[in-house]
């Protein structure tokens, strides 16, 4: 075990208690400022839950209906609060049910600490009841994991777990604790937070020469273009980012996880990148002369064909994770470091400019897109209700101040394209993994992370049916979230691909669902179904004004598609408007 850097002054204040490993764990969580725990009990973690009986007034535990619900809730909490989400689960299936959430949190850089129970140490490797090798199972989907077999390790390992989860590029950590370690009493000498681990450098050293090179390229650019991701939000660098683009007069477009880092109505915000992004940002990626990427990872949904991506541009890449530099796109100037530190250094060196003609090109493309698809999506006058008009009315009713938690599919792309946000940490969705079933439990966590904000879950009928059991959590905890099911009775995104690229061979994407409103009422959640456009606004208003949770099912066009779209295997400049 690497040594933790502790000060003598802190050591002198330590008082010793002879307590169990389980109680020590709870004291540590309190010391870390843990506001809420999402979990599900079981045999191998029962000692922790027994200790929690005496600490329930100090630690708020939310009993979810499934361990996957617990970890998605912890993700939602982390995304809206900026703090570490905490999860409890038992061994065996309890631990393996966390794997999807761990993978989701890993690729989306969400700080989570999962505590799993494990069988007694002497039973490890014997195929004991509910024993699984959770360490090897979760190694690919965690930033770090560790198995504790002796209670004396708990303080040091937990300190390290929280430090790793939230430092540098955040991510999920899993600590597996054997049952004997939970029960074992030891002399607990208080809790000391971790501030340093030998060989672990969460932030790379900022190299001023690269800052200077980047500034020179930006100052010489005629068509500079900024693309930004969640790194701006994770680095708490929203103000620094805004100052940077405003001084340089730089048009800026976002990935779906970068959404809300910059207000959507900011004059330099030119829209969304990627497969279903806006027309201008995609086409003009292949016209800009300097491309400045901030806290994003050039994933395939943003770049399309790499061999045709921004080949004319010089690339500046700002990222806290050196492994992302040159991983997908060759960088001209790498700017390693936390963007909260690197952006102000860069801003000092760039010239104050207004790239008026360049910005007008984005506006021209926006108008083409408006005429081709946006207007009929947001303001249709005939046909069935569209997903876009639901989001458009929500923008009007919430003034862009709500937290929007979207699931995965067509409704996700529509929500990210059209939702308006005035403040950061407002868009919660599954980005890199694309986990259907994410939104309902994530919305629960999002509400605990931002209790004074309106939280709206936008979910497709398919994704909702994957985790609808979490309605029980909402009922038991009396959580006030708004649930909008955009129901097209299809697995919509798969169906769209089948229509466009597989000759409308709708293979197993037609989906029948239950009476969602009646289902919600079984959980004491009010709701209604909307079939007609003339009733939509009033129904949305009634939902938002209700003091409790509310479910609104909206029947939308069965075979509506989301455009623009970059077909798979195409360049971003080959984006289709219809």
Q: How do residues 367-410 score in pLDDT, each as one tens digit?
A: 999 999 999 999 999 999 999 999 999 999 999 999 999 999 99
For the chain, give the mean pLDDT: 95
Distance CA(48)–CA(227), nearest Å, equals 45
pLDDT at 549 over 90: yes
**Which active-site residues does the annotation give?**
67, 129-130, 179, 493
Q: Is 265 helix (H, G, I), strand (E, B) or coil?
A: coil
Summarised one tens digit per residue, pLDDT across range 189-223 is 999 999 999 989 999 999 999 999 999 999 999 99
Summarised one tens digit per residue, pLDDT across range 223-234 is 999 999 999 999
Q: What's the token pair of residue 519?
A: 């289902």
Better pLDDT: 349 or 500: 349
Answer for the pair 288, 577: CB distance below 8 angstroms, yes or no: no
As a three-state string, the secondary structure of 135-178 is: HHHHHHHCCEEEEECCHHHHHHHHHHHHHHHHCCCCCEEEEEEE
Among 432, 426, 561, 414, smallest CA distance to 484 is for 414
Per-residue pLDDT, averaged over 98-115, amounts to 98
Least confident segment among 29-33, 75-79, 203-207, 565-569: 565-569
Distance CA(347)–CA(293), nearest Å, equals 15
Distance CA(150)–CA(157), nearest Å, equals 11
Q: Degrees (nearest 5) of the Cα angle 286, 359, 414?
A: 70
Does the fold of domain 208-362 match that of domain 8-188?
A: yes
Domain map of the chain by residue range?
A: 8-188, 208-362, 379-568
pLDDT at 251: 98
pLDDT at 477 over 50: yes
Fold assignment, 379-568: Rossmann fold (3.40.50)
Instruction: Give domain 208-362's CATH architecture.
Output: 3-Layer(aba) Sandwich (3.40)
Distance CA(413)–CA(477), nearest Å, equals 30
pLDDT at 507: 94
Per-residue pLDDT, averaged over 30-52, amounts to 97
pLDDT at 23 over 50: yes
For residue 450, what are the CA distances in angstroms to 77, 238, 263, 418? 8, 18, 18, 22
pLDDT at 336: 96
Per-residue pLDDT, averaged over 533-555, amounts to 97
Answer for the pair 65, 469: CB distance below 8 angstroms, yes or no: yes
Distance CA(171)–CA(194), nearest Å, equals 16
Q: How confident is the model at residue 5 (pLDDT cuts 50, 70, 90)?
A: very low
Q: How confident is the model at residue 56 (pLDDT cuts 50, 70, 90)?
A: confident
Distance CA(233)–CA(275), nearest Å, equals 22
Among 551, 549, 552, smallest CA distance to 454 is for 549
Distance CA(256)–CA(302), nearest Å, equals 10
For residue 554, what are the CA distances in angstroms to 75, 409, 558? 27, 16, 12
Provide the edge-to-edge strand list for the sheet that holds 60-63: 60-63, 36-39, 85-89, 112-118, 172-178, 144-148
Q: How confident is the model at residue 6 (pLDDT cuts 50, 70, 90)?
A: very low
Fold assignment, 8-188: Rossmann fold (3.40.50)
H/E segment holding residue 377: helix 375-378
pLDDT at 13: 54
pLDDT at 10 over 60: no
Answer for the pair 312, 212: CB distance below 8 angstroms, yes or no: no
**HSE (CB half, 13 Å, CA atoms) of 534?**
0
pLDDT at 497: 87
For residue 69, what are the CA distances in angstroms to 35, 65, 100, 444? 18, 7, 10, 9
What pTM does this model have?
0.95
pLDDT at 210: 97
**What interhelical angle do 492-501 and 410-418 show, nearest 10?**
100
Per-residue pLDDT, averaged over 534-557, amounts to 97
pLDDT at 14: 57
pLDDT at 568: 84
């Amino acid at each position: 075990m690497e040594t933790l850097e502790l000060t003598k002054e802190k050591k002198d204040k330590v008082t010793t208690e002879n307590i169990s490993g389980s109680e020590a764990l709870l004291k540590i969580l309190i010391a870390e400022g843990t506001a809420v725990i999402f979990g599900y009990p079981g045999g191998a973690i029962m000692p922790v839950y027994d200790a929690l009986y005496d600490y329930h007034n100090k630690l708020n535990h939310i009993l979810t209906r499934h361990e996957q619900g617990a970890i998605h809730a912890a993700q939602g909490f982390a995304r809206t609060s900026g703090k570490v989400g905490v999860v409890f689960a038992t061994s065996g299936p309890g631990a393996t049910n966390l794997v999807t959430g761990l993978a989701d949190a890993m690729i989306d850089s969400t700080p989570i600490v999962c505590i799993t129970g494990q069988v007694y140490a002497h039973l490890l490797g014997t195929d004991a009841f509910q024993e699984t090798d959770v360490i090897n199972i979760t190694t690919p989907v965690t930033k770090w994991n560790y198995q504790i077999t002796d209670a004396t390790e708990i303080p040091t390992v937990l300190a390290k777990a929280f430090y790793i989860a939230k430092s540098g590029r955040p991510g999920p950590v899993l600590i597996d604790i054997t049952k004997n370690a939970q029960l074992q009493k030891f002399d607990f000498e208080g809790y000391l937070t971790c501030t340093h681990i030998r060989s672990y450098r969460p932030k790379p050293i900022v190299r001023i020469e690269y800052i200077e090179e980047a500034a020179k390229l930006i100052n010489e650019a005629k068509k500079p273009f900024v693309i930004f991701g969640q790194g701006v939000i994770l680095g708490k660098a929203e103000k620094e980012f805004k100052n940077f683009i405003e001084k340089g007069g730089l048009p800026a477009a976002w990935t779906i996880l970068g959404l809300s880092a910059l207000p959507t109505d900011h004059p330099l915000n030119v829209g969304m990148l990627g497969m279903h992004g806006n027309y201008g940002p995609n086409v003009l990626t292949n016209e800009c002369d300097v491309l400045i990427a901030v806290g994003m990872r050039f994933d395939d949904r943003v770049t399309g064909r790499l061999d045709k991506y921004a080949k004319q541009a010089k690339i500046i890449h700002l990222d806290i994770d050196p492994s992302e530099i040159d991983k997908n796109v060759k960088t001209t100037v790498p700017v390693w470091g936390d963007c909260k530190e690197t952006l102000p250094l860069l801003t000092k060196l760039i010239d104050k400019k207004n790239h008026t003609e360049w910005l007008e090109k984005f506006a021209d493309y926006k108008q083409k897109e408006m005429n081709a698809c946006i207007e009929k999506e947001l303001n249709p006058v005939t046909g069935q209700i569209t997903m876009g008009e639901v989001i458009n009315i929500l923008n009007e009713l919430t003034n862009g101040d709500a937290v929007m938690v979207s699931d995965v599919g067509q409704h996700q792309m529509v929500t990210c394209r059209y939702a308006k946000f005035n403040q950061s940490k407002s868009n919660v969705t599954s980005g890199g993994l694309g986990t259907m079933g994410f939104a309902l439990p994530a919305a629960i966590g999002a509400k605990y992370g931002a209790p004074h904000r309106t939280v709206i879950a936008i979910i497709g009928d398919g994704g909702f049916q994957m985790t609808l059991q979490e309605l029980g959590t909402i009922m038991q905890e009396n959580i006030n979230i708004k649930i909008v099911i955009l129901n097209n009775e299809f697995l919509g995104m798969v169906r769209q691909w089948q229509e466009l690229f597989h000759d409308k061979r709708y293979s197993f994407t037609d989906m029948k669902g239950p009476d969602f409103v009646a289902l919600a009422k079984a959980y004491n959640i009010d709701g209604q179904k909307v079939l007609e456009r003339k009733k939509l606004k009033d129904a949305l208003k009634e939902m938002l004004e209700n003091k409790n949770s509310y479910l609104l099912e909206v029947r939308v066009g069965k075979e509506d598609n989301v455009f623009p779209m970059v077909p798979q295997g195409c360049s971003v400049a080959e984006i289709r408007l219809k």
